[in-house]
Structures are given as C-alpha cells and as structure tokens.
C-alpha cells in the first residue's frame, strides 16, 4: 500500500502508542479523585501540560485537552464569542478555513456577529495590512489556520500576530493542525492567544487534541458539568491521551527541521515529475507553500474518480479536506483562492509525512501515468 493522504490522518508511531498503552495500564485512575491513585494520574496530566507549554513557548497559557481539533476550534471561537460579546461582535477570519472554523463563524454570523473574510491570495504583508484595516472597536477575535489542509498555503501567522498584538482588546486564534511539527510554532513570539492541535495529524491516536489558551482569557466553556480542565471542558480527562499527545508533539517538534528538509526534497521531486505530464496542472504553487502538500488536477477527470482510480493501484490520496471529501460539491477552498469550478471539482491532494519515500512517489507517478493514458 502507498499511503499519501497524511493530511487526513497519519499512522500511529510505535513510540507514541507505547506511551498511550503504558499510561492506560499504569495510571488509569481518575485524576479528579482525592486518593493517591487518582493523584498519580493527575501528576501525569500536569506533566503532559507542562511539556506541551514548554514545546510551544507558551508560559502564560494553559492546556485544555479535547477530543480533537474540531472541538478545540469550536471552544476557541464560541468560547471567545460568548465571553466577549459584551465588548464587541466582530470576528476576522478567511474563506479557506477548516469547516470547524468556517462553519462556526457562519453560525455566529447568523446569530448577529459581523464577520470579515480576509483575501489570502495576496502577499504576507498585504494580508497582515488587510487584517489591520479590518479591525474596529467591535473586533474581539482574529482566527485563521497556519497551513491550509488542501493546498498547503502557509498563512503569515507571525505578521498577523504582530498586528493583533497592537490591539489589546483583540485576541488571536490559530488552527495549527497542519503546521504542528512541520513549521516552527512559538506562541509567545507569534503573539498567539489560542492554538488548536490534533494528535492524529502527528502520528498520534485519533480522538485527542488540545486548545492551548492564554490563562487570562474570559473563555466560556462549551461542555459543562464537573468543571474539569481549568473549568473549560467538563468530563473525566483522558490522561493517557494527554500523555500521548505530549509525546507525539515532542517527537515531531524535535525532528521538525530534519524532516522538513527531507520533505522539501520529496516535494521538489514530485513537482518536477508531475510537470512532465501535459495533462497535469499543479495548484500548489504558492510563494509560501508547505512541502507536505501537493494539490493538482487533471482536465476532464473528477477528483473523486481519480482517487478511486488510484485506489485500484493500491495508492491512496484524497480529494479536498477529509472532513468534506465525501461531498459532491467543488472545493470551497479552491474557489476562494480563485480557481474555477472545474478545477475545484477535479483536484486531488497528495500529502506526505516524514515516513514517505521517493519509491512511494514513483509508484504513485507510475499509476497516475497509466490512469491519464486510459482516461484523460
């Protein structure tokens, strides 16, 4: 099997799985319990939180462990909207966000909030200037992803953070799902108030994520009950999941520079070979491009058809984001970036991990060539 759909999910690392199993076997007590066994589980949880904060240089923040990035994004945006609506009802975002951000913003818009959608087809400096021009006395939040999951476009988080830092009443949320362990993330330096991460994108177990949030924020919980997780996310805490996430983040961040160099070579090789196909049009050719993602289309072959055709060769890629790939609609991300309806309907995404190899890419390219010869 040739698996090139790592932006959707990644295989679980053996080291990470060992941590998950080990904590489940030895520290399975409830961290909210008063007895010694519960206290032992609580110490694992505290250690995991400290490790994550250290990895992200987030000294003034705290970690809310969640079920994944979708919950983290919902908590960040809805929690901020509820906590600061008396101050203002204006939020700034983009049209290329993950559905767990974009759809939440649409919900808030229906509830009376004003949304500004920034054009991200411009240069980093122009994007940052547009954010600043959009800030009003009613603005409470700027929310955007670091790396787009379909196209690999890297948004200027550093520049946006610098802008937002000049407006103390405005807070900055970043969806770092596709950048964690792939690009440098320093929350203090980037002036990030809230950051969403997910374990299964960095070779961890599914169903675990976190929202790292400034401890001084008036963030309103979206799940209430027992008051766990600093009162921000009720429910018995998944201690093994927390330890597993911390381990996955540490391993990916420690190898970030080394892995990124390898993936850049893989990206360059893939792009060079794809350019040799007359029928292939590369969509992922931004000035600020993550090498972990290649988006392309073949005229006349729908993305879904191409995904299944490659599957017959035991090669696995995807069309659109995994959270919306089963819908028949054209990619809203590609449309927002200026691509036409045909391209937005016919594109596929190839995405790498540090485990991907040139040999795997060659198998993909060979299969793609056969499909083009037969169908295009």
The dotted CATH code for 2-9+256-375 is: 3.90.1150.10
d(CA 251, CA 312): 34
Place of tokens 């991460």: 197
Q: Which CATH architecture has domain 14-254?
A: 3-Layer(aba) Sandwich (3.40)
Contact in structure between 246 and 48 (CB atoms under 8 Å): yes
- Domains 2-9+256-375 and 14-254 fall in the same CATH topology: no
Under DSSP, the state recorded for 153 is B
Residues marked as catalytic: 323
Per domain, the residue ranges of the chain are: 2-9+256-375, 14-254
d(CA 371, CA 224): 52
The three-class DSSP label of residue 196 is strand
What is this structure's pTM?
0.95
Place of tokens 């110490």: 43
pLDDT of the chain along its 376 residues, tens only? 999 999 999 999 999 999 999 999 999 999 999 999 999 999 999 999 999 999 999 989 999 999 999 999 999 999 999 999 999 999 999 999 999 999 999 999 999 999 999 999 999 999 999 999 999 999 999 999 999 999 999 999 999 999 999 999 999 999 999 999 999 999 999 999 999 999 999 999 999 999 999 999 999 999 999 999 999 999 999 999 999 999 999 999 999 999 999 999 999 999 999 999 999 999 998 999 999 999 999 988 999 999 999 999 999 999 865 454 455 578 999 999 999 998 998 999 999 999 999 999 999 999 999 999 998 6
DSSP string, 86-126: TT--EEEEETT--HHHHHHHHHHHHTT-EEEEE--SS-HHH
Encoding tokens for residue 364?
């993909």
């Amino acid at each position: 099997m040739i698996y090139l759909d790592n932006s959707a999910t990644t295989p679980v690392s053996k080291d990470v799985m060992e941590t998950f199993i080990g904590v489940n076997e030895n520290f399975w007590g409830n961290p909210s319990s008063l007895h010694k066994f519960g206290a032992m589980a609580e110490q694992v949880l505290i250690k995991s939180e400290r490790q994550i904060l250290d990895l992200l240089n987030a000294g003034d923040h705290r970690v809310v462990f969640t079920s994944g990035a979708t919950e983290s994004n919902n908590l960040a945006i809805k929690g901020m909207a509820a906590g600061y609506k008396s101050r203002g009802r204006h939020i700034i975002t983009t049209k290329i966000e993950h559905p767990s951000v974009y759809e939440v913003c649409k919900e808030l818009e229906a509830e009376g909030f004003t949304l500004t959608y920034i054009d991200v087809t411009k240069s980093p400096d122009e994007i940052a200037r547009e954010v600043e021009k959009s800030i009003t006395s009613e603005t409470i939040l700027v929310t955007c992803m670091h790396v787009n999951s379909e196209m690999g476009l890297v948004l200027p988080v550093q520049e946006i953070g610098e802008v937002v830092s000049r407006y103390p009443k405005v807070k900055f949320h970043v969806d770092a799902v596709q950048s964690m362990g792939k690009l440098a993330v320093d929350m203090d330096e980037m002036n990030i108030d809230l950051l969403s991460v997910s374990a299964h994108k960095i070779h961890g177990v599914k169903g675990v994520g976190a929202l790292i949030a400034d401890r001084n924020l008036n963030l309103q919980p979206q799940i209430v009950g027992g008051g766990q997780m600093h009162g921000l996310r009720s429910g018995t805490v998944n201690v093994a999941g927390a330890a597993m996430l911390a381990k996955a983040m540490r391993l990916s961040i420690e190898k970030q520079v080394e892995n990124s160099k390898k993936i850049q070579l893989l990206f360059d090789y893939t792009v060079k070979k794809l350019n040799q196909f007359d029928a292939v049009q590369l969509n992922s050719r931004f000035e600020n491009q993550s090498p972990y993602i290649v988006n392309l289309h073949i005229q006349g072959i729908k993305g879904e058809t191409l995904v299944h055709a490659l599957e017959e060769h035991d090669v696995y890629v995807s069309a659109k984001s995994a959270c919306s790939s089963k819908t028949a609609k054209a990619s809203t991300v590609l449309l927002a970036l200026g691509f036409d309806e045909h391209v937005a309907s016919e594109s596929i995404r190839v995405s790498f991990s540090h485990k991907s190899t040139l040999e795997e890419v060659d198998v993909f390219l060979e299969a793609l060539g056969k499909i083009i010869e037969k169908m295009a």
